[in-house]
Structure 1
């Protein structure tokens, strides 16, 4: 039996039994694309306007278990494993948000998509902002939750910053021979060394943006507000009783609010 037919029958059988393969590990939805020398893994769901989902540091498309079912009803959802994450195969030595943003733009081009809505969590939110800066035509609108512009104690909470400093001190003198540990260190260094986005440079973001964070987020509230204030057109939502995982802790409301933003006819200019 051809592989495609087998996977289709498997998916229908699971649906009939109420068993749907989890996001991030769904053979019927998973695909690979060779993009800029990296074998990127993504899963595609639904039909409609394209929506690109971008996960956080050390995560994968699995992080969108509570996101995909909602948006797949009205969007063509593309849940991506960023380079060096999940099932994506990346044998390069370096990693930056600029590289990941360029990957996103190239993937959309390869899929013959002029542009997409973008929803990013944590590092994914940073990538969404950088994508909108470097490839403005590729982003219809973006929602970013738990994003930061630079890596230090003015952007991150003291606990997280101290934890990262300890992680760097413990790892900087080690020699990583195991490929998995070497990749994990590369992923850690991404957040230790990056990003470096000036507030003024956010003026380059022409797409309307929805800036989100929990009121107990690991990103300082004043930093999130500064991101919002420096964007040309933006909404701001500080989610009550929430930490960094706003899209998990308040999934139903989060999905509705982001969808409302994507569908809104206009986005006001932030108060300066």
Structure 2
């Protein structure tokens, strides 16, 4: 009898597993994935949902999968366009150079190729920097923007000292290495992006005329005073320092992050006037 019961529960558990929806492989989803040639690079992106376009931009060394806890929420009311930045994920870039300006131009080109005049934009870490640079270089492409964990320059006045020292040590130890393996060469290019960039004066943020929501964790790798300085320099901005959060606010506090950023996009009538 015990053997029959064991077999019954085994079959039942298998049927239950089959009845569960399979996890969506964000970043490697053939159903939602597309390639678009933009400025010499085949950018990989995935689309979900319908509604106003929302562009999602991940951080350094990451890919679309970083948004796995956010895409399902926003796909209910937006046309989510999650993209692998050049030299990241499936957006292969064989060139030697990489900059935030190049990537911002890529995103503007992608939106144009999709016949999208403007989109809501949300970026994390390097993606937050990209969101700000996109709004500066291509203001017509950005409706409203969210930037979490972003910095304007790469020294220890913007980054927490521990991270800055780690980056400097990594650079000094490898700066004379000749990388022949394509992946290691690409990884080094991506790493050096954050060692030397961005270099954005606070005054340049005055060019961002669209509403912006600036976010960071209270235990982020970005100095809190730097995040506040970004907020204060923007003409129309909200600020949220997330309690008990590190750099990954969108993952560590996904439910609250989704609700608040969505409320920001919807809150046109309660934003502060342009400063």
> Any idea what the Cα deviations from partners look like across 1:138-184, whole Å, max 9, x if unmatched?
00000000000000000000100000011101110100000000000
CA contact (8 A) 1:234 1:269 kept: no
Shift of the alpha carbon at 1:110?
Answer: 0.2
CA distance in 2, matches of 1:54, 1:185: 20
Change (3 A) 1:208 1:15: farther
The alignment status of 1:268 with 2:259, answered yes or no, reads no
**Cα deviation, residue 16, structure 1:** 6.5
1:141 aligns with 2:158: no
Aligned to 2:226: 223
Q: Match for 2:184 among 181, 203, 207?
A: 181
Give the drift of 1:206. 1.1
Distance 2:41 2:23 in 1: 29
Q: Secondary structure at the match of 1:142?
A: strand
Instruction: Return the offset for 1:92.
Output: 1.1
Offset at 1:21?
2.4
Pairs within 5 Å for 1:198-217: 198-217=201-220
RMSD: 1.4
Structure-2 residue corresponding to 1:90: 93
Q: How many aligned residue pairs are there?
A: 258
- The runs of at least 4 aligned residues of structure 1 exceeding 4 Å deviation read 14-17
Indicate the residue corresponding to 2:124 in structure 1: 121
> Could you give the per-residue CA deviations for residues 234-263 of structure 1, whole angstroms, max 9, x where no partner exists?
000000000000000000000000000001
Are 2:252 and 1:249 aligned? yes
Q: Secondary structure at the match of 1:43?
A: strand
- The 1:206–1:16 alpha-carbon spacing in structure 2 relative to 1, beyond 3 Å, is farther
**Distance 1:87-1:154 versus aligned 2 partners, 3 A rule:** same
Contact 1:151–1:191 (8 Å) recurs in 2: yes
Answer yes or no: is the 8 Å Cα contact 1:229–1:270 preserved in 2.
Answer: no
Change (3 A) 1:221 1:246: same
Residue 8 of structure 2: aligned partner: none
Deviation, 1:264, is 0.5
Q: TM-score, normalised by structure 2?
A: 0.92
- Distance verdict in 2 for CA 1:173–1:22, change over 3 Å: same
Aligned counterpart for 1:151 among listed residues 148, 151, 154: 154
